[in-house]
Amino acid sequence: MNYYNEIKNEIIDIETYKTVKDYSKNKREIEGYYKIGKLLVDAQGGEERAKYGDGVIKEYSKKLTLEFGKGYSTRNLKLMRKFYIFQKGQTLSALLSWSHYIELLSIKDINKINYYIKITEEQRLGIRELRNKIKNKEYERLDENTKQKLISKEKIKIGDYIKKPILIKLNKQMDIVSEKALKNAILENIEDFMKELGEGYSFIKSEYKISDYGINNYIDILLFNYIYNCFAVIELKVTELKKEHIGQIQTYMNYIDNNVKQISQNRTIGIIITKKDNKFVMNYCNNEYIYQSIYQTN
């Protein structure tokens, strides 16, 4: 087989499709680069031999660059080869562009790559959004149980995507010395905060007033998740998690369930965000609807 001519024909087809203004343009480009990657591996004598030496790629790159321009540099051809090797046997996503895949190809852990492919598809992430998630080590901040669920394709619960730590973006230099300061910092970037908890959250109110028997209390932040069809009570603490925090948030969750939640909605969850962990307290908290994380400012 004349591998160079096969690659050249594939590129001509890709370049032709680039004039098409619909989803098939991206789909054809991804499929084409996958095929080029396979042809490069075959031209080098298989995957094992392709790991050593890039003489063929350098030779092809010079010819292709003369015919088609800088898009077929040695680096880009190596990326196509790597793309084929890591993607082999898996379904190519029509929702990810080649630029998405270039970002992912810098990652060595296949489980991490699969996670970012999954959320890019589900959340329709742009390149910048994907890059920020990788930069902020979103996958690394998932619970180990969540990572295992993703690998084994188990059903994901609402609390599984809560990051640990949760990153709180600060718009100005400040010390978080009180719950009010922490809450204000969160409210200034409420959308970023909700994404740290997972997908599907919408903001209802801060300082949500609950009143019973003439006694008023205030929930720090009340959210609703439209994916899981439930309210989420958020309580903020600038200390270590304490056992009384569990009782407090459980009381607030019960109030929402009894006075606000509709029959068609699922039970309210509670998320306590603290400065430090207390594994003893959470280990003996038997309420499966209460989740805990710590925060970190950036």
106-138 pLDDT per residue, tens: 999 989 999 999 999 999 999 999 999 999 999
Give me 149's structure tokens.
Answer: 């669920």
Percent of the chain with pLDDT over 90: 76
Residues listed for the chain: 298
Dist CA 88 CA 127 (whole Å): 23
Dist CA 141 CA 153 (whole Å): 19
250-285 pLDDT per residue, tens: 999 999 999 999 999 999 999 999 999 998 999 999
Task: Give residue 23's pLDDT.
Answer: 58
Say if CB 238 and CB 177 are below 8 A apart: yes
Say if CB 146 and CB 157 are below 8 A apart: no
Say if CB 234 and CB 269 are below 8 A apart: no
User: What value does the mean pLDDT take over residues 68-89?
Assistant: 90
Say if CB 94 and CB 30 are below 8 A apart: yes
Task: Give residue 21's pLDDT.
Answer: 58
Residue with structure tokens 């910092």? 185
Q: Decide if pLDDT at 149 tops 80.
A: yes
pLDDT bracket for residue 24 (50, 70, 90): low
Q: How many CB atoms lie within 10 A of CB 163?
A: 23
Residue 37: name the closest of 94, 105, 96, 100 by CA.
Answer: 105
* H/E segment holding residue 69: none
Dist CA 35 CA 33 (whole Å): 5
Task: Give residue 2's pLDDT.
Answer: 87
